[in-house]
Chain A
């Protein structure tokens, strides 16, 4: 069974940092691009970042570029999101998701809540 399990969320102060992790199982992790998608309370979905299966290429939304870094450790089947210089508007549930060929994120984790507040 394909599973994604996020961790690392919590309360951070404005300007602070957090590192999210996403542990993958049930599929060949290194063969799939992965994304982070967030959802602010009561709002819609916002794509944050993506990384290819090899980790060679990364992509970011303008809203997080220069502050967030996506990475992966294929030996540990784990995806990461390093979040620096956090702002109140980064408050959201953060999901990791696995990408199938073409358009489509076919497996999502349960999400981890990040709250940025003083």
Chain B
């Protein structure tokens, strides 16, 4: 099973700042890496798929990068609605796995 480790566990930033979230895989996941945002009481929302492709309707301030085992989600300038929990997910090998999440909180 591929283990995804996200860091940091919690990130405290202010609106307007840049957020950088990391996801490291225990082995290569090729380009099969996605990012999700989840707010309390809501289902997850797909942000990025296949490392760098923004899902439909996702603002350009969200971007994904990386390859192999190290991946990054960047939010260029935080908006108030961006404070949430973020998960990475791989589909390179079965079983599909998720990272443990990064909580992005308002400083």
A residues with CB within 8 A of B: 35, 37, 44-47, 50, 59-62, 95, 99-100, 102-111
Contacts and interface: CB of A to CB of B under 8 A. Distances in A.
A95 B96 CA distance: 15
A111 B44 CA distance: 10
Given A44-B99, A50-B96, A108-B43, 8 more contacts: A45-B101, A47-B97, A102-B32, A102-B91, A103-B34, A103-B92, A104-B55, A106-B55
Interface in B84-107: 87, 89-92, 94-101
Contacts of A61: 95
Classify the secondary structure of B's interface with A. Answer: loop
Interface range, B side: 20 to 34
Given A95-B43, A103-B33, A47 B50 contact: no
A108 B45 contact: yes
Contacts of B3: none
A106 B46 contact: yes
B49 interface: yes
Contacts of A59: 94-96
B94 to A, nearest CB: 5
Interface of B: 1, 29, 31-34, 36, 38, 43-46, 48-50, 55-56, 87, 89-92, 94-101
Classify the secondary structure of A's interface with B. Answer: strand
Contact of B46 (A47, A60, A104, A111): A104
Contacts of A37: 44
B72 to A, nearest CB: 15
Contacts of B99: 44
Given A44-B87, A44-B100, A108-B44, A102 B49 contact: yes
A45 B44 CA distance: 9
7 contacts: A44-B101, A45-B89, A62-B95, A103-B33, A104-B89, A105-B44, A108-B45
